[in-house]
Amino acid sequence: MLRVFARAAIAASVLFTTAAQAAWPERPVTIIVPYAAGGLSDIMARLTAAQLQASFKQTFVVQNDVGAAGTIGANNVAKAKPDGYTLFFGPIALFTLSPLTMKVNYDANKDFVPVSIVASTPFVITVNETFPAKTLKEFIAEVKKKPGGYTYASAGAGSTTHAASVLFLKTAGLDMVHVPYRGVGPAFTDLMAGNVQMLSASPVELKPHVGSTKVRPLGISSKERSRHLPNVPTVS
């Protein structure tokens, strides 16, 4: 039984070495992504699928099964025939955080066989262009003025984007209202439209919007600055 879980994606070619010895795959493989198209999990799954397709000379189809903060996609994979032709590609939070924050219809320990953690990523505290703060310090001061008066978006309750935001807000002593979405893609759309004020996104998800003037990155959660976003200071 082969089912994949990941935080993001790098070195996709190292996956499934044991499968190759078993003449796998003999037919198309479906990779379930539990979030909407455009988010980090979706982007990385498609990059991974392309690498696997090139390596195994077989079709790998990415399918977005969205809803319930990613748990619908996870549940669909848990119920799939365990023959190696339905893989799961999503954040590890669906197996660690989600069962603690909501009722799920799968057992992370019994229903999945982990193949590889493909990558990890920091998160960038990002606001829309209309927010009255140009630095993280100014952001903290502004939110403290209006407890519960601002909103932040996530890819769903219990998702890594949600957890990253909660950790930051709790550490800074801030009170904001959570607005969950079906993925980072639609969350970014509402952030740029000004319907929500903050989103904790990965550098990969943020980079296409840098320079658009519709969003403003304030700080990154890594210990050092990202080479992709060299002008964004670290949260620490």
Q: What is the CATH number of the domain that holds 145?
A: 3.40.190.10
Q: Does residue 27 fall inside a structural domain?
A: yes
Structural domain boundaries enclosing 51: 12-101
Q: Does residue 6 fall inside a structural domain?
A: no
Same domain, 128 and 97: no
Higher model confidence: residue 159 or residue 27?
27
Q: Does residue 115 fall inside a structural domain?
A: no
The pTM of this model reads 0.66
Same domain, 96 and 132: no
Number of folded domains that form the chain: 2
pLDDT tens digits, 96-153: 888 887 889 999 899 999 998 888 889 999 999 999 999 999 999 999 999 999 999 9
pLDDT tens digits, 171-224: 999 999 999 998 888 999 999 999 999 999 888 888 888 777 889 999 999 999
Cα 79 from Cα 95, distance rounded (Å) = 15
CATH code where residue 67 lies: 3.40.190.150
Predicted local distance difference test score (pLDDT) of residue 206: 85
3-state secondary structure of 216: strand
Q: Does residue 234 fall inside a structural domain?
A: no
Please say whether the dihedral angle defined by the alpha carbons of residues 209, 155, 46 and 118, taken in this order, is positive or negative: positive
Same domain, 164 and 213: yes
Percent of residues, the chain, with pLDDT higher than 70: 91
Higher model confidence: residue 31 or residue 182?
31
Same domain, 151 and 212: yes
3-state SS of 33-61 is ECCCCCCHHHHHHHHHHHHHHHHHCCCEE
Higher model confidence: residue 12 or residue 228?
228
Cα 1 from Cα 114, distance rounded (Å) = 10
Same domain, 128 and 184: yes
Predicted local distance difference test score (pLDDT) of residue 120: 83
Same domain, 88 and 131: no
